[in-house]
Amino acid sequence: MQRSTTTRDIRSLSVDDLQELTESLGQPAFRAKQLREWLFNKNVCSFDEMTNLPKVFREQLAERYRFNVPEELTKQVSKDGSRKYLLQFSDGVSIETVGMPNKNRLAVCISTQAGCAMGCAFCATGMSGLTRSLTAREMVDQVLHVAADFNERVTSVVFMGQGEPLANFDETVKALRMLNDPDGLGIGARHLTVSTCGIIPGIKRFAELDEQFTLAISLHSAIQQTRNQLMPGVKKFTLLRLHEALQSYTEKTGRRPSYEYAMIDGVNDTNPEMEALIDFCQGTLCHVNLIQLNDISDSPLKPSPIEKVEVLQRRLMMHGVETTIRNSRGTDIDAACGQLKQRFSVPRGGR
């Protein structure tokens, strides 16, 4: 089959464009619908797979369009079976994605932006600033890449790779819906988790969605001053406002958000910090995920000793707050993302 010399991705066409294209190639209107289904429900990545389209039509399409699927630059495989990919889009921008198999499940951690503008002090992605936001298609392509590499069905996706999903709200929601589509990958809404540093207007919009997508909040401190230092990008969304927003989120959705808390030695693991966290959690429906900070080289911030993490877990549990300690191994989906480079560098301890 003759291949296209253009760089235009067929999947960047709107429904109207596809209709027009189909007509201009002399095909009946129902072919546009079939084409749409292959592209946006079945998520195929080649014209050859569109078996119900006439061969001549497929050839015409292949002459004019292509699939700009991301290119795999590197892949690291950890001992526990997780795979970390560096994927590059057609404009040269690259991001990280992780696939985490666990028994008969496969979780994928995807990036929503190349880089991030939020500048969190503990996060290597935040340190280099934002390059650009990703499109919904680029998010879904990461999932498809992992599914193809493992040759398995993806059972859950966490939006916890590089970038702030709620700063790229519309594309994130589009991606969630594409992944959730029963005619497509069909991943249950509850198995699709978005993690945010706490952008309040985004949380409010997220609460309005009809689907039961899962929300994770990167909290990291319940003391305003500490949080401002750790997460300067969300200073204006104060803890008080965050608390209110989360309360209305639970009232509206009946869902329990999880709070991510990376423990940093001498910073957010002190007694007043623990008390503030307990206070913040009480009265809201939540689940706390504790993790030891992932060490970023050249950073003055260091992980808390595991004993401190255990103390905090016990104290939270005593106050009725459901708390899990996540480890940095690839088998643990929540722990696996965020600073992918740090968490998945295979040479460190052979994870």
In the complex, which residues of this chain contact ligand SF4 (CB under 6 A)? 116, 118-120, 123, 125-126, 162-164, 197, 218, 338
116 given a catalytic annotation: no
Token pair listed for 243: 């608390």
Q: Which stretch binds ligand SAH (CB under 6 A): 38-46, 93-101, 195-203, 280-288?
A: 195-203
Number of residue whose CB is nearest ligand SAH: 338
The answer to whether the beta carbons of residues 9 and 68 sit under 8 Å apart is yes
Token pair listed for 2: 């003759």
The answer to whether the beta carbons of residues 193 and 109 sit under 8 Å apart is no
- Rounded CA-CA distance 61/65 in Å is 6
Asked if 61 is part of the footprint of ligand SAH (rule: CB under 6 A), the reply reads no
Q: Which of 246, 293, 312, 340 binds ligand SAH (CB under 6 A)?
A: 293
CB 241 to ligand SAH: min, Å:
17
CB 147 to ligand SAH: min, Å:
21
337 given a catalytic annotation: yes
Q: Which of 23, 72, 96, 138 is catalytic?
A: 96
Nearer to ligand SF4, 162 or 214 (CB): 162
Q: Which of 131, 172, 193, 339 binds ligand SAH (CB under 6 A)?
A: 339
The answer to whether the beta carbons of residues 93 and 86 sit under 8 Å apart is no
Amino acid at 350: G
* Nearest to 351, CA basis, from 329, 334, 331: 329
Cβ neighbors of 342 (< 8 A, separation 6 or more) are 124, 294, 295, 296
- Rounded CA-CA distance 98/107 in Å is 8
Determine which helix (DSSP H) or strand (DSSP E) holds 21, and give its type and residue range.
helix 15-24
CB 111 to ligand SAH: min, Å:
8
Determine which helix (DSSP H) or strand (DSSP E) holds 251, and give its type and residue range.
helix 239-253
Asked if 196 is part of the footprint of ligand SAH (rule: CB under 6 A), the reply reads yes
Asked if 121 is part of the footprint of ligand SAH (rule: CB under 6 A), the reply reads no
Nearer to ligand SF4, 10 or 290 (CB): 290
Q: Which of residues 200-259 bind ligand SAH (CB under 6 A)?
A: 218
Cβ neighbors of 221 (< 8 A, separation 6 or more) are 227, 230, 267, 268, 273, 276, 277
The answer to whether the beta carbons of residues 101 and 82 sit under 8 Å apart is yes
Give the number of other Cβ atoms within 10 Å of residue 321's Cβ: 19
269 binding partner (options ligand SAH, ligand SF4, none; Cβ < 5 to 8 Å by kind): none
Asked if 330 is part of the footprint of ligand SAH (rule: CB under 6 A), the reply reads no
Nearer to ligand SF4, 116 or 264 (CB): 116
Asked if 85 is part of the footprint of ligand SAH (rule: CB under 6 A), the reply reads no
Q: Which of 109, 281, 286, 337 is catalytic?
A: 337
Nearer to ligand SF4, 162 or 193 (CB): 162
- Rounded CA-CA distance 48/105 in Å is 29
Q: Which residues bind ligand SAH (CB under 6 A)?
A: 116, 122-123, 160, 164, 195-197, 218, 260, 262, 291, 293-294, 296, 337-339, 342
Residues noted as catalytic:
96, 337
